Structures are given as structure tokens and as C-alpha cells.
Structure 1
Amino acid sequence: MSILVKYIERAVKRGIVDEYILYMNTDDSQVSDRAYGYQLAEQHDWIRIIERPLKHPGPKQRSTGYAYRSFTDLETIYVRFDDDVVFVDDAAIENLVRKKIEMEPSKAIFPIIWNNALVSWYLQQCGTIPREWGEVSPYCMDPVGWANGPFAVKMHELLLGHIEAGTVEQVYMYQDFPIKLGEQFSVSCFASAGKDYAALEQPGVLVPDEEENFHTVHWPRVTGQPNILIGNAVVSHFSFFPQRPFLDASGVLDRYRELADKVVA
């Protein structure tokens, strides 16, 4: 989170982002996490905190779906980030928002999410990721793209090399891709419109209430409007839990932190 907020601050200073909302899907035991979030909000007048309105009886991540009850402003494009997004390309947020405004009808607009199994499949088809690292299939929990730690380390090292060399545009894809209706995948970052949530039967109430299923499976199928993966926006998602021991031992997070520290220096 301390890495991601540097990129949001850059976007705020450029006039691209109006407000950064921290959705506190936290347990009472997460004392230091909650304190850090509120400390950020005290330091920056462009950060606002929303506490989750309900606690889902299932796994904690199910409670993220309740956030959209606060995201129904008709004039707002929202860009959602996981808290472990550790890099945001210079043009990513603006390109996501512009494409959401321009590419109607559509539902969610997704960037190239680095370390996302479905996106990794697209990147392999484009020749950006070597197949020798392991063949990725277009499945959100693919054994290589989602669960393979050494593969994730190689992925991050590849992107970090481009960031450090100033050549991130070399991993852009040559076009935007409508994603197959109902294709489930991890939703670490996307742009969506408040007017779409306001138009739900109960404004902002997702049915089904699980955020990922709603956005990638249910909503595109029932509306016939696809999600779009755009080729000129890159963000980097740090880790899925099976990858974490390998990534923690690799040193890549320290490299991301060093890069973030230069963003608003």
C-alpha cells in the first residue's frame, strides 16, 4: 500500500485523479493496518476512507462487493486497485478512464495487469512472455499464471527491467481485446462507471455479491456487454498467495519500492 499510494499521489498532482478512496475491509485484529490507513487520510486531503457497510459471513474478500454501494455517482469513472498493486504506468489511469468513456457499450475496462493469469495468456500470444517459462492457459487460476512462484518471479523481473530502462511501452499490446463474455479472471485493477452501478435494481448492490464473479462472469453475460482489456495501460499486481514465498525471497518488492520512491521525489 505504501508503494501504490505514491503512484496515486502522482496522478492527483497531475489533476488526473480527484480522490482516492480507501475501502477498509479489515478485521479488528488488523490494528496497524487500520492505523496506517487513517494516518494516510490525515496526511492527504485527497484520501477518503469508507468502512465496509456489512461483513460477509464467508471469506473476507467477499466483503469487497459491498463497496460499490458508495460508487454510484453518475458523473464519475472509478478506477479500482488491489492494495498490492506495486506499479502504475505513467499513462495507465488516464488511458483506462478515456477508454471507459469512449468504448461504449462496455462494462469494465482492464489494463495489462502484470501477474494475472488471463493477461499473461494474452501476453504469451503476443510473444511478450516466453513460453519456455511455462505455458499459461486462459484460466484465472491457471497452475502457471496463478500458482507458479518461479514464473511470477521471472514475470516481475522482466517488467522491472523495462521500468528501470524506461521501456515499459515495449510490453504494450498492439490492440484492445474484448474479453469473452463470462470469462472469470482476477480483478486487481479496472475502470468502471458510477452510472452503471446506479442503474442496478438496487443502486450499487451487486447480485451476486462476490465482486469478481459479478464483474467478470455475471454482468457481461446478462447485459451482453463485454469487458475490455486495453493494450496501452500497465499495472503490476504483486502476488497470489501460492507465489508469495518465492516473491518474498526474490527481492523484487524492494526494487518496486525504490522505483515508487522516485515517483514523487
Structure 2
Amino acid sequence: MAPVILVTFAGRQRRMELLTRYVREAMNAGIIDEWHIWDFTRSPEDHEWVTREFGPVRFMGSTAPYEAKGSVSPRASFRASALIANDLHVAVLPKTDPDHYLELVVGGWANQHSVMRRLPRSELQTFDRNNVQHNWARSTPGVLSPGKANEIVLGIDAKGVLTLNVNDVAIGSWPEIDLSAGAEVMIRGGWGANLELCDVRERIMRYIGNPYEKMPYWQAYDYYARRLDMFKDALFLKCDDDIVYMDNDKLDAFIEFRRANPKYFVVSANVVNNGVCAYWQQVAGSLPSHIGQFEYPPGGFGGTLWQSAGKATDLHDFFLTTPEKQLPLPNPVIEWTERQSINFISWLGRDLVHMALPKGDDEHMLTVELPTMLGRPTAIFSDFTVSHLSFGPQEAGLDPDRLIDRYEELMNLKLAS
């Protein structure tokens, strides 16, 4: 059966902790096969949490800083399988020298040269190498292959000498440096070269986008679209990091509906705090008028709910008091041809052929531009409910901690039953 892959653009710790428990429960139940965490964090604290909480790094954008990858010692070589066309950076952090590290640049200068530098550890988080002295340099034309995963091996011999091999070719050794005590190893790309670590195959993996880029989400779609052969048989779920409730009992039904209805380009869950869903929830009588009027958002975008912290709060509080934790729509499926918020959606891997998205408004492209071009509607599936904490314009007057605490109480009841 085709794998089910959940993609989440991470990650604000306080808002994502509830989602994390729901997803791990769904994975333990065999509903979700893989979880791909795209690290688009905007604070060092959130990045550190994502790094601690989730699996190893599979992919790194070209401007992502070093990430820990392993270690090397006289009794155990370091091995990595790296898909990268140029400028592979490997940091070797000697255990006996806490202040410095060795930086190996493999295939720098358009894949023509390799160098080794000794640098202070403060440079691990920077990319500026102007006026930096090379301790070793060698011409290595074509050392990295762009057509395969490059096999990288670092070894330390009995005398403590570090050696580097790439694709079974001896690239360098440094007898003047004693690493007999071993070293930690970190890795990154650089200078326009993304890095994919093909030896990383876990159910939960991290994908690190280029830090602090505005509208960064195109990087994820581009990654999957460029690997169509790998993912064409998969079924994708994508959710925001602030999904604070997920009806795991109905998740499998949502997935099977998605699988059985390829005419829809994307299918959305029935989302609490989503302008289009709220309109249909009220049409169905699931949202009484006394908690507010949830109008048809013009063109499926914006509207008073999207702008109002008060409306969002009242909607969340009402949902939390409903016995069944459902807000049914007028029909089991609502076909849609306008924009809608993509808080929790699904697409088929075969449609990645259309999804090499440029930098820009991914929501408009996925729910308006591509469906229009392809002549395929989108849909909202009534029976699978999730709750989305907030939109940006709602933030100013929202009390997220109070709502998260209430949703945590609900989660503890749901996952304990």
C-alpha cells in the first residue's frame, strides 16, 4: 500500500506540542507512516526544540547551518551518503580541543577544489569565510557526483591520523593533527548547494529550509516535486504546526476518501477556525448565530473570522463544549472551486508532477491556480475534524495559552480513551 506521509511546516513549540502527541498516536496506530518536519522556525529556541524533539536531518537548504551527524574514532569510521553537487562542508570537532574545529570543504569552487581549515567553534554558525587561511588545499575536479549519493568516509588510524575518502577515492590525510581521542562530526551544504543525507531513513525526519526566508514553503513542494519517482505512489497530508485537536478516530476515513477520489486536487479536513469551513458549518446549523455570523469569505479568503480574535475565541470555546467534537457540514463532502485555507489538506503523490511551486503564495496556487488549470475541484471532507488555533491577524487579541490549556485537557481525555 502507498505510504501516508504527513508534512508539517514547523514549528512553534508551545503550539506544536499538542499536534506532536496526536501524530505520534496516529503513527503508533499505523495510520500515518512517515512524518516530515520542515524546520522553518523563526527563533533559536524553537529551532533547538525541533532539533531535540524530532528525528535526524534528511535534507538541508544551502544556507542552513551545521547539524550534528555522528562521530569518528580510531575504532569507528564516520560514514555518510550525501546527495550534493558542490561545496559539501564537514566539521570535525576534536574531543581534546573544545575551542576549535576542522572544516573540510569537499568540491568547493564549482566542484574543483577541496580544502581544510582550522577555525574557532564560533564559526560553526556563520558562513563568512573571507580572509580565512587554508591549512590544506588540493585540486579535486569533479570530486562530487551530481547524479548519485556521494559516499563520504572519515577514518582515524591507530596513530590518530584523520583521512577522508569520497566515492572510494582517497582525498586527503593530515598526519600533523592527532585525533586519537576521536571527534564529533557535523555537516552542511553551502554556496547554492542543498544537501540531502540519503542514509537517513526514519519514520520521523527533519528537513531544514533556508533560515529566515520570507514565504519559505515553496522549498518543501519543490523538494517533493523534484523526487517524483520516489513519492509518486505516496499519499500526502499537510498540516499547520498549530493544529491543536485532531480526530484520530476519523483520520483513516479521511485518508481513504482522499485515496478513492483522485478527481479532487486537494481535500481539506473540516477545520475549526477556518473561514470557508466556518461558513459551511453555520449553513449546516452546526454553529449557532449567538456565537457570531460567519459569512462567506470573499473569494474564499479573509473575512471577519480571519481578522477577529474575539470570533476565533468564541468559536474555539463553543467547539470545546460540544459533546461530539464535531461541526458537521451540510453534506458529507463540499466541492469547492475557490480559495480556502490549507490548515490540514491532502494530495496524491502523482500530482507532484504539477507541484514544483515557485516562491510565493502556496495556498493560492494549491487551491485556485492549479485546480483551475487542471479543471479539478477541491473538496472539504465533513467527517474528519481538526482545530486550528489561529491566523496571524487574530493574534493581537487572542489568549493562546488559555486555549492551548483547554485543548490539552481535551487531548488527554481523547488519547486516554
Find the aligned partners of 2:365 and 2:50 in 1 and give their Cα distance: 27
Say which structure is richer in helix. 1
Percent identity between the aligned chains?
22
Cα drift, residue 7 of structure 1 = 0.5
AA matched with 1:236 = S
Residue aligning to 2:30? 15
Structure 1 counterpart of 2:216, from 52, 60, 63: 63
TM-score by length of 1: 0.85
Secondary structure of 2:232's match?
coil
TM-fit CA distance, 1:42? 4.6
Q: One-letter code of the match for 2:17?
A: S
2:402 pairs with 1:232: no
Q: Which runs of 5+ in 2 are unaligned?
A: 1-15, 57-201
Higher mean alpha-carbon deviation, 123-132 vs 141-150, is at: 141-150
* Larger-Rg structure: 2
Aligned counterpart, 2:350: 195
One-letter identity of the residue aligned with 1:192:
W
Is the 1:10–1:263 contact (alpha carbons within 8 Å) kept by the matching residues of 2?
Answer: no
| Aligned pair partner of 1:145 in 294, 305, 309 | 305
Question: 2: CA distance between counterparts of 1:249 and 1:49?
Answer: 26
Kindly provide the amino acid, as one letter, of the partner of residue 45 in structure 2.
Answer: S
- Deviation string for 1:200-254 (max 9, x for gaps)? 3xxx411474310111110110001011111111110001123224331782221
Q: Is the 8 A contact 2:271 2:386 kept in 1?
A: yes
What corresponds to 1:38 in structure 2? 51
2:321 aligns with 161
Contact 2:35/2:205 (<8 A) preserved: yes
8 Å CA contact 1:89–1:233 kept in 2: the answer is yes
What amino acid is aligned across from residue 216 of structure 1 in structure 2? T
Moved more, 92-101 or 204-213: 204-213
* C-alpha contact 1:153 1:246 (8 A) present in aligned 2: no
Kindly indicate whether residue 340 of structure 2 is the aligned counterpart of residue 172 of structure 1. no
The offset of 1:138, in angstroms, is 2.9
Aligned with 1:251: secondary structure?
helix
What is the CA–CA distance in structure 2 between the aligned matches of 1:188 and 1:52, rounded to whole Å? Answer: 20
Aligned to 1:112, the other structure's residue is in SS state strand
> How many equivalent residue pairs?
248
SS in 2 for 1:23: strand
Once the two structures are TM-superposed, the CA of residue 263 in structure 1 deviates from its matched residue by 4.9
Contact 2:284–2:328 at 8 Å: present in 1 too? no
Give the 3 Å change call, closer, same or farther, for CA 129–92 of structure 1 in structure 2. Answer: same
Structure 1 distance, partners of 2:206, 2:286, is 38
CA-atom RMSD in angstroms: 2.2
With structure 2 as the length reference, what TM-score do the two structures score?
0.56
- The runs of 4+ residues in structure 1 deviating greater than 4 Å are 53-56, 262-265
Most deviating of 171-180 and 79-88: 171-180
- Residues 247/92 of structure 1: CA separation in 2 closer, same or farther (3 Å cut): farther
Aligned partners of 1:263, 1:19: CA distance in 2, in Å? 22
| Structure showing the higher strand proportion among its residues | 2
